[in-house]
Structures are given as C-alpha cells and as structure tokens.
Structure 1
Amino acid sequence: MKKLNIEKEGLYDYDRIEGRRLLNKEKLIINLLKSTFIMTLTILVSFIFYNMNLNEATIILIYILGVFFISITTEGYFFGIVASIISVLSFNFLFTEPYYTLLAYRADYPITFFIMLIVAIITSTLTSNVKEEAMIANLREKRIEALYRSNRKLLQAENKKQVTDFSGESLVEILNKDVMICLAKDNILEEENIYYKKNTKIKDMFISYIDKEAMKYSFNQKIPCGLGTNYYKNIKNYYYPIKGQNKIIGIIGINLNDENHLTNTENILLESISVQIALAIERENLFEKNRKVSLEAERERLRGNLLRSISHDLRTPLTSILGSVSTIIDNDEVLDSEIKKELLKNVYDDTVWLSQSFENILSMTRIDEGRLELNKKIEIVDEIVVEAISRVKKFSKSHNINLSLPDDIILINADGLLIEQVLVNLIQNAVRYTPKNSTIDIKIVRESNYIVFEIEDNGCGISKENIENIFERFYTKTKANQGEQRGIGLGLAICKSIIEAHDGDICVFNNNLGGATFRFSLPARGEV
C-alpha cells in the first residue's frame, strides 16, 4: 500500500457552505477581546467629542462606526448585534440626561434609541453578510483554481500512477481530508493509493475489512456508500465510484472522521474531480490500446519482412541443393568420385546454412513473443568457445581460426547454449565475409568484472553505413562481394538480444589489420 503525505493545509475549514467558520474556544476569546477593545475605543472617542461640545448625532455616528468595525473584525453575527445593543445602552447611560442612568427625560429619546438600535443592527448584519459572501467567493475561487490546477496536471500525466497521484493531492488540498483512490483492472479493484493531509495521526482508516467490503459494494452497485448514505453508514469513510463512459473504473474514498457527511459543494467538487479522473484514465487506456495496435502492426510488418526475406534468401541454397542432388541421381554412372564429393559438399554446406538460418528464425520468434528463457548456470568459458569453434570448422576448413585464452579458468553464470549460439553466429559471419585462407582470431580476456570476447578477422572491414545498422533485424550488407552467401539479417540481431539479456554489451569496429572485430562482454562470476 502506498502512503503519501501531503504537506499542505486545506483551503479553509467551514462547517457549511454558507461560510460559517468553526468557532472554538480560542477564536471566541479573540473575538471577545476585539469587540471589547473597539467598544472601549468608541466610548473614549465619544467622550472626547462630547467634551468638544459636538452634538448627539455625531456621537451616534461614532457608535455606529464602532459597530461597523466590530462586525468587520469578528466572525458571525453575534458580536455585531451585541455591540449594537451595548452602543444604545452606553449612549443612553453616558450621554443623555439624567447621566449614568438608563432613564430618559426627553420624550424623543426612546425613538432615537430605537432608530439607533435598528441602524446599528442593520449595519452589523449587512457587514457580516458582505464578509461572509466575500469569504464564500474567496473559497470558491480557490477551489476553482485548485480544480484548474488538477485538470492541468491530469493533462500532463503520462501514466495511470501519475493520474491517481495528481488527483489524490488535489482532493486533499481542496477538501482538507484524507483521501484514497483505488483503480480497477479487469473489473477487480487493485491496491489502494492513500494520500494524507498534514498532521494525520491515524494511518489505517481505509484498510479495515468493513471498508474493503464497502468499496466492493460501491464498485459493484455503482452507487456511493459509507457515512452519510444508507449503505455501510456506520463507518467513518465515504466511498464514491469513478464512473467511466461504459463502466466503473475505480473508487474514491474520503475520510469524514467526526463529520456527518460532505457538504453540497464538496460533493460537487468530488464529482468534478472524479469526472476528470475518469477522462484521464480512459485517455490512458485508449493510448495503451493504440500502442498495442501499433506494436501488433509492427509485428505484422516484421513477419512480412521475414517471409519475404525467407522466400528470397532461401531460394538460392534450395535451388543449389536440388540441382546437386538431381545431377548425382541423373548422372550417377558417369560422374567420377571427385565431382560427386564436390556436389555433396555443396549440398552439405547449403544444408548447414539453412539449418542455422532456421535456428535464428526460431530464436527471433521466441524473443518477439517474450519466450526467450535463460537457463543460467555456472559455465566454463573455455568449453563454450571450443564447442562453438568445432561446430563452425565442420563446414569452413578454408579459414584459419586461432584461439587465445587466459591462463586461469574463467567461469560465467550464463546460458551456455545461447552464448555458444552467439559465438557460432559471429564466427560464421567472419567466415562468410572474408576471403579463403583468411585468419580469424578469437580472444578471451578479463577486464575488471567482465569477461570480454573478441572475434577478429583480417578481411576487408565494414563500411560506416553497415556498422551503424548491422545489429538491426533483416539488415544485410548493402554491397556484398560476389560469391558471398547472402544472409537473412537475423544472426547479429539475435546476438545482440542474447547478450543484452545477460546484462552484457556488444559492438563492432574495424581493426588495425583492415578487417572487423566483433566484441561482446559478459559479467564475470568468479574463477577457479
């Protein structure tokens, strides 16, 4: 299970979309101190204006201004309304005759007090409403901005893992809650991806048995379940299905903890992000499907190339075999033994070449289908090389093959038969493209933690164009010398695949003798 901590606070903590912030004891004390300070300051300023012999209307405006500031700096309606009442009472108590009593001698004072109270309450209420609306607008703006960032990230996602990570981070940021996202593959929910908000203490809220059952129920029934619904309502999590175009593609889990349910706005945001996730996942599925179609088309193209290459390149040796055998059968009595031996040798050489070609074709087929299995075990390098040389010498006696081995016996952990096939292909390649009586040197050396194999000839070398493409499938020499037997272009590609499967490396270059050197290295496993 993946656990990712998101070091970000949520946008705001609201108990309802109307914008009422959660008031704890600390906030209550702060609001009370603000109200007391502003009201005290209002009374002091009123005394100053009173001593300056300003009329009562000015002092009333000072009180209304104080109520206005209290409404701006505190949360909710309570402190503004209380400040309105205190303003009327303190104005009556301090600035109307008889002073320092709540009695009023003039008949118009009660009306003045009533109007002052109404104006103060209306001012407080309107100010609080404006502030609440501003906070709601700010919250919506930040959530829309977060949705926009989430959408941009999802557009940049390169795989399903990034889609879930980006979406989980966005949900934690927007909802300020712990989030779980679980995608489905072949209609089966996969491993959960959990994203925590800052300072989360409980780390196993989505992995209980009842939660897994709720996830399966929501996935199978295609409906939300958990806290706040009629299904699995005793758990503390809320599960919402991610609905694709034709099927459910996953589940989003929200940890509600002590809350009863998500607010309407939170539900809308959750639905919006789930739609974004569904679109992103379906886009990735479509991309994967298109990639498979492209790979299948490429396989078909390679198969076509293979068939064309086989039909073209195998026709010559088959025709030669057929001609030699027909000549022997039709002229057996008149042919002398030397001519028969020459014809049979041609048949043998062409048959060996055909056998090797078919072995390469089968090996490449296994590589394409992912069935190239390495049967690794401890092998002695000397034995593999000597066996490969003996196989080649059966049909290439016109070349001088020299072997140079280190004094110590070297061991490698490899598939001996496949490494032998690599050596046979490389030696045969040197035999095929060098004149008769050429020398082929095979050198085995140890360099650091690798065993290096070199097959070196003194032929005509390889052109730059051929060196750049020589390990590609179906690639053959652009200009073959007359008399050279054309290959089907799979031997060197197979060599590269086998060496890379052993965590090795292979290359080719022209040497100082004028010929070419094929060099490959394999990890050493020890020596005796």
Structure 2
Amino acid sequence: MSNSERADALLAHVDTRNGRGRLKVFLGAAPGVGKTYAMLQAAQAQLRQGVDLRAGVVETHSRAETEALLVGLPQQPLKRLDYRGMQLTEMDLDGLLAKPPKLVLVDELAHTNAPGSRHAKRWQDVQDLLAAGIDVYTTVNVQHLESLNDQVQAITGVQVRETVPDWVLQEAFELLLIDLPPRELLERLRDGKVYVPEQARAAIDAFFSQTNLTALRELAMQTAAARVDADLNLGYRQLGQDAPAVRGRLLVGVDADAQAERLVRHASRVAERRHLPWSLVHIDTGAARDQHARACLQAAQQLAERLGGEVVSLRAGEVAKTLIQHANERRASLILVGRSRQRWLGAGVAQRLLRHGAGLEISVLDSEAERRPRVPRAHHPLVRGDYLLAIAATVVATGIAWAVAKVLPLPNISLVLLAAVLLVAVRTSSGPALLCAVLSFLAYDFLFIPPHFSLAIHRHEDVLTLLFFLLMAALTGNLAARQRRQLRVLRDTQSETAALLELSRKLTAATDRQAVVLAASQQLASWSDVQVCLLGRGADGQWNVEGGVARPLSDAERMAAEWAWQHEQAAGLGTDTLPSGRWWWWPLSGEEGPLLLLGVSPNDEQPLSVERRRLLAALGQPLAQALARAQLAQDLEAARLHGETEQLRSALLASVSHDLRTPLTAMRGAIDSLLTLDGQLPHADRIELLESTRDEAERLDRYIQNLLDMTRLGHGGLKLARDWVAPVDIVASALQRLRPLLAPLNVETRVPSELPLLYVHAALIEQALINVLENAARFSPAQGRLRVAVESDDAELRIVVSDQGPGIPEAERAKIFDMFYTAARGDRGGHGTGLGLAICQGMLGAHGGRVTVGEGLDGRGASLTLHLPLHPQPPADTDPL
C-alpha cells in the first residue's frame, strides 16, 4: 500500500467535532421495525450523560411506547407553514442553527419538506446541521436508498418516490441496523402497533407481505454488510495493510471469442447466488483481432452492463499476473475464467492463476467445444503488392549482399538480409515479412554458405548460423509487424480522442438544444462515407429532423427508429432488430429517457464496422450530456421567467388594494355630497364634484386596464401589439392624461425634435411612464420642478423623469425593484407600494428594456430612467402611430 493511500485513510478518520458534525443512521428494512424507538433510546442514554441534545422532528405515529421515550427530551418547536389553506409543520432548521445543540434527532431522513421550506428534502436539512458542527441521529428505511429504487420496485411493485442519495449514508460515521423478523413485524401490524387497524390491513395486503419483508430485510443486511466492509477496509488502510475480503467481488476474465457471453451469463448467476458485486475484465495484449472477435467482445461487454456488472478493460502483456493484481486492488474473492483456444485464456493461464493467486478462489468453466460453434479464423486478404514487395526486397538485398561479399565477412552479410526483412515488416504485415525471411534464408544458404550455389550444408557451424538467421529474421519481422499494428491502433485511438475533444470543444460553447445539434451535425458532416440524421420527437409523437440530411424514411426504417427510441438500444442496419433498412439508429439518452436519435446511413449500404459504431457511441455520450444540460438550462430559464412573472403579478395585486381604494373613496365622497346636498349646492360646485368623479373614474379605469393587461401578460395571453410610434407622442399623451395631477408643479419637457421611432406596445409604455410620473408628482413639493427629458443613442432610447422630492437613499436603490420592498424614507416610504417600480420593470422588461434610478434635480429628489432598445428604423414612408 502506498503512503498516500494510508495518509488519505488517516485523514478520513480525523476527529471532525471541531468542524463537521457526525451522522448516525438507524437503518431498517421497513416501517415498524423500531428505528425511532432505538434512536430515542440512544438519545436518552446521551441525555443521561449530559449531552446537550434536542429533538428536531420525531414521528411517533401515536405509538405509546415511542411517545414514552420522547418524554424528558428537549424538543425544538416545529415550524408552521401555510400551503394552499392548510397548516403544515416541519422541522425548524433556522431555530436549530440559531441556537445549535450538540446533538439533534431528525426522524425520517427521506421525508419531502413542505413548500416554503429552505430545502426540498430533509436530508438536505441534515447536511446543513452537519456542516454547522452538529451531530445528528436519524432514521431511514432501506427502500429509500436511491441505488435500490428499481430493485425495491421489482420486489414490492411499489415505486418509492422519496429517496436518499447513497453518498449520504456513506458519509455516516456510524450505521446501526435495526432488525426485526418478518413474522414479528406482521404481528405488530395486526396488533395495531405500527398503523391503525384499517391502515394495517391495507398495508399487509399491499406492501407488508411475508415475501416482501424478507426481501427488504435481505437488502438491509446487504447494505449494512457493505458498510462494515468499507469500515474494515479503512481500518486496514490506516495500518498500511490490505484488508481481507469479507464481502468480496467476482471477476470474470473474457477474451474476444464466442464463449465470452456464456461466461458473462454464468458469472451473473454466480454473483446473484453469492450476493457479490462482479466485474467483467478484458486484458488487451495487443494481439490482432478480426471483426468477428471484436463483435464478440463488444457483445459480452454490453451484456455485462445490462446484467448489472462493471466493465473493465486493461492493457498488459501478462494476463494471469494482471488479473491477480486487479483482484487484489478490488479486493475480489473469486476469479472466473473459461477454457479457450486463445492463448491468454488457455490452460497455462489457469495454472498460473492457481500458482500465484494465493487466497483467491479460481474457477475455470469448461469450454464445451462440442456445443460451442467453431469460431472462424481471421481471414487476412491477400494483398499482392505486399508480397511482391517482399520478393523485390529480397532480390535487392541479395544483390547488395553479393556486391559487398568480397569486402565484408560472412556474418555481416546476414545483416543486409535482416534489414530487408525489417523493411518489409514495417511497410506491410507479418505474412509478407515471413515470406521475406524464408526467401532471405534460402538466398543466404544458396549464395553465401559453402558449397556455393547449393542448398547443401557441409559444416555444422553453418547449420547453426542459418537456424539463428531464420529465427532472428522471423522474430524481428514479427516484432516489426506488431509494432506497426500497435501504431495503427494508436492512430485510431488518437483520431477518436481528437474527435471527442473537438466535439467537446464545440459543445462547451453550445448553450441551447439548437446549438448542440448544430455542433453535432458539423462534427459528423466531415465523414464523407456516411449520411447522418438527427431526429427529435415532438409532443405530438411525430419525428422531426433537427440536423443532418432530411431523407424520407421507409416503414421499416421508421419502425427501427421507433424501437430504438422506446428501448434505448441500437436498431436498424447491422443489428438484430429490423436490419432491413439503410439506417443505423442510436438513441442519445439522458436520465429521463431519450433526448435525440442519431441515424447513420453508409453510402455503400454495408453495416458499420465495430470501430465506427464504438466511435459513434463514444461521441454520443458527451452529446447526450450536452443535450441534457441544454434541456436543464431551458427548464431553469422557464422556471426563472415563471418566478419573475409570479413576483410581478404578486406585486401588482399587492398594490391594487391601495391604488383602487383611493379613487373609489374620492368617488364615493363626491357622490354622497351630491345625494345629501343636491338642492343646496351651487351649480359650479356640482360641476366640480362631477368632474372630480369623472377624473377618479378615469384613474380607476387606468388601474383596472393595467391590471388586466399585466395579468394576461403573466399568463402569456397578452400579445404585444407592437407598432412604430414616436416617443414625443407617448410623452405628450402621458402628460395630457395627468394634467390635473401635475398642475401644482412646474413641469419641464426636453424632447428633441429628431428622435428615432420606437417599436413597442404604445399603451404599455405610456402606462409605465404614467406610473413613474404619478410617483414623482406624489412626492414632489408644491411648486416643485419636475422634468421629463428624452435622449437616445445608437442602441437605446431613454425617458428620464426627475423630481425634487425627498429622493431614494443610495444604499436602497438596488432594492427598490424587489417585490414588496418599501424604503425607510424617500419616494416609496410611508405611502404603500403603489403600482410600484416592479410593475414598471415588468412592462419594460416585456420589451427588452429596464428601469434605473439616479440623482434628482439640484441634488434633491430622484431620477427614474426608462431604457428602451431601438430596432432598425422602418422605411421613410411608414407612418407611426
């Protein structure tokens, strides 16, 4: 064991009481086994020892014996939350963090918090408590573990919605298994000690069956055993030693032959019977393999993944030692291999495993050759040019050797012929190199070994020389050919890596789905021998071509695409599923299912090679991740916009109570005066009261129209009826509508004669300006100055409203756009929210604009600026509104 591994283990065991708190988990197989009871017993013991603890949340489910243990324990009052007219209670996380105890009891770790809580899940609350240095006791059932969700559903037929990530339990300082035999738990159910009788009967019929409880109990024990195994490994690592295998692991070594899948299935059954995790291990020795062998290996690896195994690929020259070394690293207890005609899985490997694998169980599965179909030999095509090169190289080397034979001794002449063998091996393959070696051997014997021009050999030392020459020629030729193959593999790997890096670089800059699809199309368009199509599926179930070629699909090709999408597996050309079409379909899937369908159609209509399919699968992984990221970004943006819309609507509704009440009060007062003093009022007073009522009614109408428009905007029902409008018309209309309100003020307007047109919803922009003007008029002193200025540049137009009121403190200017925020003094202080700057911000935001705040006139008051983006101007003959 390395020193770094031992140091990591020691650091992992350092006492964290001065930093992060410790987590103790009471794990059970099902509700009712006594987890909460055991947690409260442990808490009572800690309380007797003087530990400062508090019960954050404890669910007793009205069980008398559990409630009795809760007596005497300090409890944190629960937090009450209003949700849709209901009163919900949750753990008061803020209260616990404000006055942190040493230990907190948190029941039901997988619980989902009520809306309005700090976190969505209770285990997230626990993480906050641990980060604050507080120790936590908690309970959880095994069916709530995320990694066991599918398995629990298969056992019980119930989909568990509330789950806890496995790493939460892995971080626990201590895990205590609370076990209760299924028969006793069923008796507790029938006696009403877990649920009320009606619920108990339903639970027994649905979830709490004898079979389900036994299976869940076994899962709980396996989880606890895995934790014990991890603790044992940590302890041995602290001592600098390798831990003995308690739970163990199964390793199955496979080669690229037809027996590989059979080995994988057998390993899966053995691992299932022994309850062991298992891995498929393939060791690449650099030997050449044909397409059939590679297909067998790929099929075995895919089968292992489907059966729940881990797939591992290693590169080494010695198989047995590599397997043993990997088994020790993974703390495996069993190695399974099979007899094969391949060299590395022959009897020799099994013998070496038995000889060197001390402490390991070695199993060799019989090959059953009579039942297994014979694997066809690799057929290397005869390349005439390569063999002609071998003959030509031999002739040239022989001529050179004959030319220098008179000046060089005999042993040096053989080096010339060996050079020819190396040249052929590097340029071709092992077959032509072997031919060159044999021809060079014959030429060396015929021309240079006495007696000359004869294959007879008279001297014994010449026989040894020729044998060594043939051996060296064959070895060097084979070595050179192997190096050439490895170089070709490295080039392929480098090409694949470069393609992945290039695609990753393009995907990094892609921010939405369209950009991701464009990047993938550009990357795959460089392959001239295939056609690529990227299909997406709309909400109506119809296929949409999002990238690549748009070619009509036949019924068989469409069915293959449908099958690949539904089963998330490859289909079409070159597969076992609907192979009659011209397209090979590969689904790009995320956690929620397929996101896009990749289709590849070779121009020669031949199935894709294994290497090409592997490269496409490798490219598909980052592409699927980018699609999932783009989808998540889109969902987050939609959620953000929805949240902003809700804030805008809430701010509008909050302001309505004041803004509607004021004109209604004035109208009611005027009407009461007319009714009460009808005959006593002069004609002029009557006209004044009626005009006041009309003005307030118009004001009320503006508020209601604004409310309706913003409500429709929030629901997406308000269409921005944009049109070209002159800014001077908006300013003039707003000032005209507010003429009575602005009468006591000295209003200045600075509107240049030459201004660009705005492409906006005129009524909304006018209403936003009216809101700002009303705000300024309300807080301006009598005979105070109020200035309306319009300015523009190439990018935007700005309408600035400045007053001489009390102003807005600089420290609070960044907050006044927040919903419900009211400054302590200044323009918004003491007068309610009005329609509020949040409403103006929403109106301008719908047009891509914004509102900012600055200094007012002569160092007093405030200045509110409405920023509106400018669009390319219309032709000169366009008439603005």
Whether TM exceeds 0.5 here: the answer is: yes
| Bigger shift: residues 493-502 or 277-286 | 493-502
**Residue of structure 2 equivalent to 1:464:** 810
Q: Is the 8 A contact 2:414 2:444 kept in 1?
A: no
1:224 aligns with 2:571: yes
Q: Is the 8 A contact 2:503 2:523 kept in 1?
A: no
**Structure 2: 5+ residue stretches without partners:** 1-288, 295-377, 565-569
2:544 to 160, 184, 190: 190
| 1:248-305 superposed Cα distances (whole Å, 9 cap, x missing partner) | 4323233533483333333333334334433443344345445544554554455445
**Residue of structure 2 equivalent to 1:75:** 428
Distance 1:483 1:301, change over 3 A: closer
**Residue of structure 2 equivalent to 1:7:** none
**Letter paired with 1:362:** L
Q: Is the 8 A contact 1:461 1:514 kept in 2?
A: yes
Q: How does 1:18-97 map to 2 (within 5 A)?
A: 38-44=397-403, 47-50=406-409, 58=411, 62=415, 65-66=418-419, 68-97=421-450
Q: CA deviation at 1:123?
A: 2.6
| Bigger shift: residues 280-289 or 329-338 | 329-338
Q: Is the 8 A contact 1:179 1:254 kept in 2?
A: yes
Q: CA deviation at 1:88?
A: 2.7
**Residue of structure 2 equivalent to 1:126:** 478
Q: CA deviation at 1:384?
A: 4.3
Q: CA deviation at 1:37?
A: 5.1
Q: CA deviation at 1:422?
A: 3.6
1:142 to 494, 502, 505: 494
Distance 1:66 1:433, change over 3 A: same
Distance in 2 separating the partners of 1:217 and 1:482: 65
2:784 to 438, 455, 470: 438
TM-score, length of structure 2 as denominator length: 0.45
Q: How does 1:261-276 map to 2 (within 5 A)?
A: 261-276=607-622
Distance 1:129 1:404, change over 3 A: closer
Q: How does 1:221-260 map to 2 (within 5 A)?
A: 221-222=563-564, 223-226=570-573, 231=578, 233=580, 235=582, 238-244=584-590, 247-254=593-600, 256-258=602-604, 260=606
- Matched position secondary structure for 2:738: helix
- Matched position secondary structure for 1:512: helix
**Residue of structure 2 equivalent to 1:201:** none
- Matched position secondary structure for 2:532: strand
Q: How does 1:14-413 map to 2 (within 5 A)?
A: 38-44=397-403, 47-50=406-409, 58=411, 62=415, 65-66=418-419, 68-99=421-452, 101-102=453-454, 104=456, 106=458, 115=467, 119=471, 122-123=474-475, 126-128=478-480, 130-135=482-487, 137-139=489-491, 141-142=493-494, 145-146=497-498, 149=501, 156=508, 158-161=511-514, 163-164=516-517, 178=530, 180-186=532-538, 187-194=541-548, 206-210=549-553, 216-222=558-564, 223-226=570-573, 231=578, 233=580, 235=582, 238-244=584-590, 247-254=593-600, 256-258=602-604, 260-293=606-639, 295-297=641-643, 299-311=645-657, 313-314=658-659, 317=662, 320=665, 324=669, 328=673, 354-377=700-723, 379=725, 383-401=729-747
| Bigger shift: residues 257-266 or 319-328 | 319-328
Distance in 2 separating the partners of 1:423 and 1:482: 17
Q: CA deviation at 1:76?
A: 1.0
Q: How does 1:469-488 map to 2 (within 5 A)?
A: 469-470=815-816, 474-480=820-826, 485-488=831-834
Distance in 1 separating the partners of 2:648 and 2:581: 59
Distance 1:497 1:408, change over 3 A: same
Percentage identity across paired residues of the two chains = 19
| Bigger shift: residues 35-44 or 73-82 | 35-44
User: Which is greater in Rg?
Assistant: 1
Distance in 1 separating the partners of 2:524 and 2:793: 54
- Matched position secondary structure for 1:261: coil
Distance in 2 separating the partners of 1:444 and 1:304: 31
Q: CA deviation at 1:90?
A: 1.9
Q: CA deviation at 1:494?
A: 4.5
1:428 to 757, 766, 774: 774
| 1:292-319 superposed Cα distances (whole Å, 9 cap, x missing partner) | 44554554455445444444x3586388
**Residue of structure 2 equivalent to 1:203:** none
Distance in 2 separating the partners of 1:482 and 1:89: 106
| 1:312-348 superposed Cα distances (whole Å, 9 cap, x missing partner) | x358638845984797599659997799999888877
- Matched position secondary structure for 1:260: coil
**Aligned residues, how many?**
492
- Matched position secondary structure for 1:437: coil
Distance in 2 separating the partners of 1:410 and 1:248: 49
**Letter paired with 1:209:** P
Q: CA deviation at 1:405?
A: 6.0
**Letter paired with 1:142:** Q
Q: Is the 8 A contact 1:454 1:518 kept in 2?
A: yes
Q: CA deviation at 1:388?
A: 2.5
Q: CA deviation at 1:452?
A: 6.1
Of structures 1 and 2, the one with the larger relative CO (CA 8 A, separation 6+) is 1
CA RMSD across the alignment: 5.3
Q: Is the 8 A contact 1:215 1:251 kept in 2?
A: no
Q: Is the 8 A contact 1:181 1:193 kept in 2?
A: yes
- Matched position secondary structure for 2:595: strand
Distance 1:398 1:113, change over 3 A: closer
Distance in 2 separating the partners of 1:66 and 1:483: 96
Q: Is the 8 A contact 1:218 1:224 kept in 2?
A: yes
